[in-house]
Amino acid sequence: MLLLASGRVVDISTARSKYHALKQHGPAANAGHRALYGLVDIIYRLRDDDGEPRRGWTEYDYIFSGHTLADIHQADDWNDDDIAELQRWAAQDTQRIRIETARRRLIDSQQQLSVKHNLSAQSLYSLLRQRIEVMALSRASAGQWQATLHNMQQAGIRQEEISWSGLPRFLSRQDAGTMLTKQHILDAINFDNIRLELSTEQIWGTNGGLNFKEVAQRMPHQVVYRAALKLDASCHCILRYVDNTFNYRVGVIKTLDHEHQMAMNRFWFALDPYGRAISNDSNRGLYFDNSDAAKNAANNHARHTIGLRSGSKFHTRFDHLTLYGGDNYREWIVSLPDYPRIFYGAHYMDHNVLAHIRTTTRHDSQGRKLLFIEEVQSDWHQHGHLHGYDNSCWGKIANAPFKKEWPALATKLMLIRASQNGYDGIAWPDGDIQETRYSQDLNAIKRHYDDEIPRALNRLGKAFDCRVERTGIETRDPWLNLVKTKNKWRVSDGQGKFETRNKYDSREEAMAVLHRHCKSIQLSVSAFFINDSLRRQIAEQGLPLFGETSFIKD
């Protein structure tokens, strides 16, 4: 939100990006940042009766100005000072991130992305809950419980875990002398808002199956009636994905009543070609927890009723940013799907991506199978660290958990993944590999790989006699890297000394060039191997959500 000197309260929106793109016959999804300005609307924030700007939580708090960032200089009702102030504001990194989200809605031929969920996030437990469960204290006053929480922090429970559990807020609402049982305290612990989800993006419809396109349309009353979706007057059905060939549709229930049971965007539905709601076999109802489950139901219905084949493949948009060699490239997304604030990063289409991890499968010099972490990043916290967190309105960089622990959290999830899938351990390159890859100094990023991740894993592994150690993997000298632009490939050193003129049509052609110019080496990397004791811990109890202490005795 920006308050201009003229008194206007303005913001930007990418909601109509596809509309503008079709109207202009462009730009393409891989266009430069400035080319996106024509797709980004300037919107006016309305004011309440007391003159204060509305909170900006719904579409009813705004009206479109009729101008985009690209043509605001032509607006007759804007003065030069306001235009200059808007342009300065739009050039800031926070707004640049929001402008980049215009890419997600550009063209109808854009392949629909879905996700494959992974169970690793379910293997994380709360140390706070575990600590309270084994306490001898069974009943105490609210004031005594507050003191107990303070003592727990001194004994190793992370303050961040205590804060996000909701316990401090719960206890602050009680009179200091109110007596509460241990069960009252356990019932008050609630991490639902920061429930983690680990997933990988997939492209649907590549081998047959339904090919959903993204839309945003309110369903007419008669269509809702035909689907037998029994809703009250405060609810609306919004179509979000449509298969134009077979007329399967997927949508979500929306309501402006924040106290309504359907207010959390977790009530998805799927319609068959005749507009009838497809039932959820798992609960015999008509609603699904997420869009992926609803699309799966539509695909299953199409397979059983019209014999349509379904198929998908993993998305590999950043596979050029890896060391030479390795198999089974994957891009992992760690997200907070139920978090009440929204953040969109520049790397992935999904919202509330807390961190993303890129991995390959490799073997070290002793033949041990490694889940190799090529890179781990957090757009959310890296931008929050640079520009600050602000919960005042939508579009800002919202506050979020794991501010300092996100590298360790991502590594724990990969450790669980490795243990559950027969790997001997995990490994990752030193920070200077990232600097070579991006041809710039990355001191903060280097600390993640060289200091923070090893320190966290050593703390985690201490009880199991596991430590970070060095091992070697076979690769090629990383002085050259692949560069991917508009589905074309080239090879460059990032310094301007070596760069292929040709842009190759396939990754394999570019890799052949890299193979010719980079010698084979044994690269020393950090590794953390999983012994039987740690593997048993992961299988039977999991790993702590916050921190690295496996268990704290009373």
pLDDT tens, per residue, the chain with 554 residues: 888 988 889 989 887 776 677 655 556 666 778 888 888 889 888 887 777 877 665 555 777 788 899 889 888 889 999 999 999 999 898 888 888 878 766 655 555 566 777 888 989 999 999 999 999 999 999 999 999 999 998 888 999 999 999 999 999 999 999 999 999 999 999 998 899 999 888 776 555 678 788 787 888 877 787 788 877 778 888 888 888 778 899 998 888 776 777 766 678 999 988 888 999 988 778 888 888 889 889 988 988 887 776 666 788 888 888 999 999 999 999 999 878 777 777 777 667 899 999 999 999 999 999 999 999 999 999 888 888 888 665 557 888 999 999 999 999 999 999 999 999 999 999 999 998 888 888 888 899 999 999 999 999 999 999 999 999 999 999 999 998 877 788 999 988 889 898 788 888 899 999 999 999 999 999 999 999 999 999 999 999 999 987 654 44
> Measuring CA to CA, which residue among 42, 39, 43 is closest to residue 106?
39
- Per-residue tokens: 459: 């703390």
Other residues' Cβ atoms within 10 Å of the Cβ of residue 485: 10
Determine contact, residues 234/264, Cβ cutoff 8 Å. Answer: no
The torsion angles phi and psi of 411, rounded to 5 degrees, stand at: -65, -40
- C-alpha–C-alpha distance, residues 455 and 442, integer Å: 19
pLDDT at 553: 43
- C-alpha–C-alpha distance, residues 210 and 296, integer Å: 10
pLDDT at 505: 87
This prediction's pTM: 0.71
pLDDT at 228: 80
> Measuring CA to CA, which residue among 450, 412, 418, 421 is closest to residue 433?
450
pLDDT at 223: 78
- Per-residue tokens: 82: 């306001």
Residues 446, 450, 451, 452, Cα dihedral to 10°: 70
3-state class (DSSP) for residue 515: helix
- What does each C-alpha distance from 1 to 10, 16, 95, 341, 396 come to in angstroms? 6, 18, 10, 16, 8
Q: How, if at all, do strands 425-428 and 369-377 pair?
A: parallel
3-state class (DSSP) for residue 391: coil
Determine contact, residues 400/381, Cβ cutoff 8 Å. Answer: yes
- What does each C-alpha distance from 270 to 145, 224, 278 come to in angstroms? 47, 12, 5
Q: Please, which residues bridge with residue 417 across strands? A: none
Q: Please, which residues bridge with residue 180 across strands? A: 140
Alpha helix stretches (DSSP H) within 101-229 = 127-133, 142-154, 159-164, 167-172, 182-188, 221-227
